[in-house]
Amino acid sequence: DTAVSQTPKYLVTQMGNDKSIKCEQNLGHDTMYWYKQDSKKFLKIMFSYNNKELIINETVPNRFSPKSPDKAHLNLHINSLELGDSAVYFCASSQRGYTLMGYTFGSGTRLTVV
């Protein structure tokens, strides 16, 4: 059983397109996150949702819109894709207030904008 699963694993798309990445966790956690990993492997938090409520919104272009239909799902929609959006996007989950074992990460979605 995959604890945090993301789809798709690879996404190649043209500039200007709109795309979505989906994430689901079956750990019963109440908090989910999106992280972006750039070409230098630097991992930066983008968003965090707790029980469907946005709690962290870092300085991210408003072309990025997270959506959490329920606490087990957090999707990321990106409008008007740009070359600089190319990166690996990781979804993660945790139980808020219980930081033991940190976050559980998915295996990532490699987005390539051409």
Partner 1 sequence: GENVGLHLPTLSVQEGDNSIINCAYSNSASDYFIWYKQESGKGPQFIIDIRSNMDKRQGQRVTVLLNKTVKHLSLQIAATQPGDSAVYFCAENMRGNKLVFGAGTILRVKS
Contact footprint for partner 1 (CB under 8 A): 4, 31, 33, 40-45, 48, 55-56, 90, 92, 94, 96-97, 99-108
**Least CB distance from residue 37 to partner 1, whole Å?**
9
* HEC profile of 47-90: EEEECCEEEEECCCCCCEEEEEEECCEEEEEECCCCHHHCEEEE
**Least CB distance from residue 101 to partner 1, whole Å?**
5
Q: Which is nearer to partner 1, 4 or 81 (CB)?
A: 4
Cβ 76 vs Cβ 55: under 8 Å: no
What gap in Å lies between CA 92 and CA 70, rounded to an integer? 15
**Least CB distance from residue 38 to partner 1, whole Å?**
11
Q: Which is nearer to partner 1, 14 or 28 (CB)?
A: 28
What gap in Å lies between CA 44 and CA 55, rounded to an integer? 16
**Least CB distance from residue 80 to partner 1, whole Å?**
27
What gap in Å lies between CA 100 and CA 73, rounded to an integer? 21
What gap in Å lies between CA 27 and CA 12, rounded to an integer? 29
Q: Which is nearer to partner 1, 28 or 97 (CB)?
A: 97
Q: Which is nearer to partner 1, 18 or 53 (CB)?
A: 53
